Amino acid sequence: MAASSELEQLRDLLLAPEVNSLHSLQQDLATLQRLIRDPEQFSRLLEPVLSNMIRRADPAVSLAILKAVTPFLDRAVRERMEQDQAAMTNALAPASTGAIAIHFAENPETAAQDVAPLISAAFKEQIRAERDAVIDALYPVIGSTISKYLSETLNTLVQRMNTRIESHLSVRSIFRKIRARFTGVSEAELLLRDSLWCRVDAAFLIHKNSGLVIAQSQNPDVPPLDSDLLSGMLTAIRSLFNESMASGDKPRELDQIAYGDSKIVLEVAGFFYVAAVVRGLPTDSFRTKLRETVGAIVQLPGDAITHFTGDQSQVPRALGPLLQALVQGTYDSADRTRRRTPYGVLWAGALLLLAICIPLGIHLYRNSLDRESEVRTRAALLAADSVGFKEVAVEIDRDRVQLSGPVSNEYQRASASRLAGMLSPEAEITNHITTRSGPYLPILLGKQVEALGATLNTVEGVLVQTHYHDGGLVVAGLAPDSATVEGINRTFADLPGVRSFRSTVSAHEFEMVERLLFAFNSTEIRPVDRAVLERVIRVARQAPWAGVHIIGHSDLTGEDNANRRIALGRATSVRALLLQSGIPSSRLSIEGNPGPPPDVIPSGQDSLGRCVRFRLRSPKPDFSE
């Protein structure tokens, strides 16, 4: 027993470490198996390892992780989209917008090609679904341009016809002149209304790229036209026109071809165009019907027209009635049938009308001249002050001009009379203009002028100085441009109670009223002038954007060079004090003048000539030291 016990003790001494290691390894293995069986515990165990592998950026490891995770990401995104599509859309919107922007920035042509079919289909669907809304959205952009072009074209046509009509005299033209005078419509417009007519002989729907005829309709009362020959001719002409007349990136479309007494009017859409063979002058009603037909074709469902290859079975049945309605329409602008009148009665009536209309015509002519003068005078008043003279009425009767209406002050009232007298120098001016303001207190108007000037001085680039006394207002200062100068002048001129107004506000520079006087042959600033210099510093600080030009002067005593040196010395002394006050040197410039200022009469040792004056300049001039 003793030997066995010793043997066991020896075994424990020799094998105890290995046994303990085996027990520890067995516990670790059990713990690892438990972690592997628990997905949540296993994911926590792998997180540090995966993070370390990703940080090392091993390409092989990254590719393997990407291939393993991608199927799960795809399924997760699809499931999330099915659960809450709105939330996923809001989450992906910023990233998708940025991706599209990067795509456009890096390769705009490819991006445009990718998006163009979607935009085209969406725009076409929007037109089909909400035509009125699309028209309302596009009308402000193209409506005014089209209206202006049509208006100018018609005005040119009417002027040419009036010129030709006025050179021909006939009984019919006399009655047309009388009719035009009483109806207020020009002779050219009356002639156009009576003479325009239009008849459609045929209409063809042609594919733009291939030149194939998709559908057609012809008038059975005229000889039929060869549709294939016509489409081939139009395709060749359009191709030649587009190659020779296109300018830059702005393609131009051929809209009309004239041959003999007929015209081919073209209305081009996206993948097709409609060619209408017309006799006479195409009227507005015809062009409107043509555009409506093209609009109806564009809104037909399907893309058979877009991808037409010559298979007539694929053409929508609605095309035939649309083209047939275009051909069978009536587009005469007026009924041209007239009843013949005996020439004897016509001449008698013409002489009677002449006897009545000659004095009436003279009266109407003089009235028309007066009305033109009224319009011209009114336009001049509005151009001078569109706000102050907005309610001023002008009435001209022969050699008398009468002005009436309210204005803000006496200055505007006198300005209106002066302007009307300049436009009608030989006329008698009767001024019935009234001022809106009643009795006013000069001190209140002075305070209003000061407050208005202080408000304007808070605007960048504006510095004004005002002086008001007994109804007279003087304004001086700087502004960044001429438009601002005009606005400042109108603002002060419109103040109620102002009887006279003078402005020296400039967009370049203005001279300050402050001046420093010096003793004879001295460059030292007198203590009494320190207050004047403080005012200059205060104004310069109000306009930190403006430059200060310091001009020194001397009297006429002594030689010119000596006078120039002392004048420059006086300007230099003032510049040094301005620098000490905190005004940067970049804003200061000096000049020495060997004589007195222009407004001082030379008289030897004149103390007014020994001075320094100041100018403010804008905008921020580059002065040399």
> Is there a contact between 480 and 530 (Cβ–Cβ < 8 Å)?
no
**416-443 pLDDT, tens digit each:** 888 888 888 888 888 888 877 655 667 7
Does residue 586 sit in the same domain as residue 483?
A: yes
Last residue of a domain, one of 72, 104, 129: 129
Question: Is the Cβ–Cβ distance between 551 and 612 less than 8 Å?
Answer: yes
CA dist., res. 302 & res. 304, Å (int): 6
Q: Which domain holds residue 321?
A: 196-309+316-328
User: What DSSP string runs through 292-306?
Assistant: HHHHHHHTSSSSTTT
Does 593 lie in the same domain as 461? yes
Nearest to 280 by CA among 192, 412, 389: 192
pLDDT at 73 over 50: yes
Which residues of 247-390 form beta strands (DSSP E)? 256-259, 262-268, 272-280
Same domain, 273 and 415: no
Give me the CATH number covering residue 268. 3.30.450.70
Report the CATH number that the domain containing residue 419 is assigned in CATH: 3.30.1340
Contact (CB, 8 A) for 607 and 496: no
Question: What per-residue confidence (pLDDT) applies to 623?
Answer: 39
Based on the fold, state whether residues 429 and 447 are members of the same structural domain: no
Q: Please state which of the ranges 272-276, 284-288, 570-574, 610-614 shows the lowest mean pLDDT.
A: 284-288
- According to the per-residue pLDDT averaged within each range, which of 101-105, 366-370, 387-391 is highest? 366-370
Q: CB–CB of 340/246 below 8 Å?
A: no
Q: State how far the Cα of 436 lies from the Cα of 361, in Å rounded to an integer.
A: 41
Confirm whether 534 is domain-assigned. Answer: yes
**Structural domain includes residue 7:** no
0.75 surpassed by pTM: no
Which pLDDT score, from 0 to 100, does residue 136 have?
Answer: 58
| pLDDT given for residue 113 in this prediction | 77
396 occurs within a structural domain: yes
In sequence order, what are the beta bridge partners of 469? 472
Q: Is residue 258 part of a domain?
A: yes
Query: Does residue 183 sit within a domain?
Result: no
Instruction: Decide which of 402, 435, 468 is a domain's last residue.
Output: 435
In a domain, 517, yes or no: yes
Cα distances (Å, whole numbers) of residue 171 to 341, 468, 532: 11, 70, 86
The helix (run of H) or strand (run of E) holding residue 20 is helix 2-37
pLDDT, position 270: 74
Residue of 624 and 548 predicted with greater confidence: 548
CATH number at 586 reads: 3.30.1330.60
Q: Where residue 185 falls among pLDDT bands split at 50, 70, 90?
A: low
Backbone angles phi, psi at 591, to 5 degrees: -150, 140
DSSP string spanning 186-215? -HHHHHHHHH--EEEEEEEEEETTT--EEE
Number of domains in the chain: 4
Other Cβ atoms less than 10 A from the Cβ of 313: the count is 5
551-596 pLDDT, tens per residue? Answer: 999 988 888 899 999 999 999 999 999 999 999 999 999 999 998 9
Tell me which of 435, 461, 492 is where a domain ends.
435
| Of 22-31, 110-119, 330-339, 560-569, minimum mean pLDDT range | 330-339
d(CA 336, CA 193): 9
Domain match, 105 and 205 both: no
Query: Taking the CB of residue 619, how many other CB atoms lie within 10 A of it?
Result: 14
CA distance 290 to 274: 8
Structure tokens at 309: 């290859």
Q: Is the alpha carbon torsion for 40, 41, 42, 44 positive or negative? A: positive
> pLDDT-based confidence at 335, cuts 50/70/90?
very low
> Is the predicted pLDDT of residue 317 greater than 80, yes or no?
yes
Do 260 and 392 fall into the same domain?
Answer: no
Q: Report which of 556, 555, 559, 585 is spatially closest to residue 572, judged by C-alpha positions.
A: 585
Q: Is residue 335 included in any domain, yes or no? A: no
Statement to judge: residues 450 and 580 lie in one domain? yes
Question: Do 101 and 232 belong together in one domain?
Answer: no
In a domain, residue 122? The reply is yes
> Are 201 and 231 part of one and the same domain?
yes
* 465 and 430 belong to one structural domain: no
Q: pLDDT category, 492, cuts 50, 70, 90?
A: confident
Residues 574 and 491 in one domain: yes
Total residues found in the chain within this entry? 625
Percentage of the chain with pLDDT > 70? 70
- Residues 498, 611 within the same domain: yes
Over 70: is that where the pLDDT of 112 sits?
yes
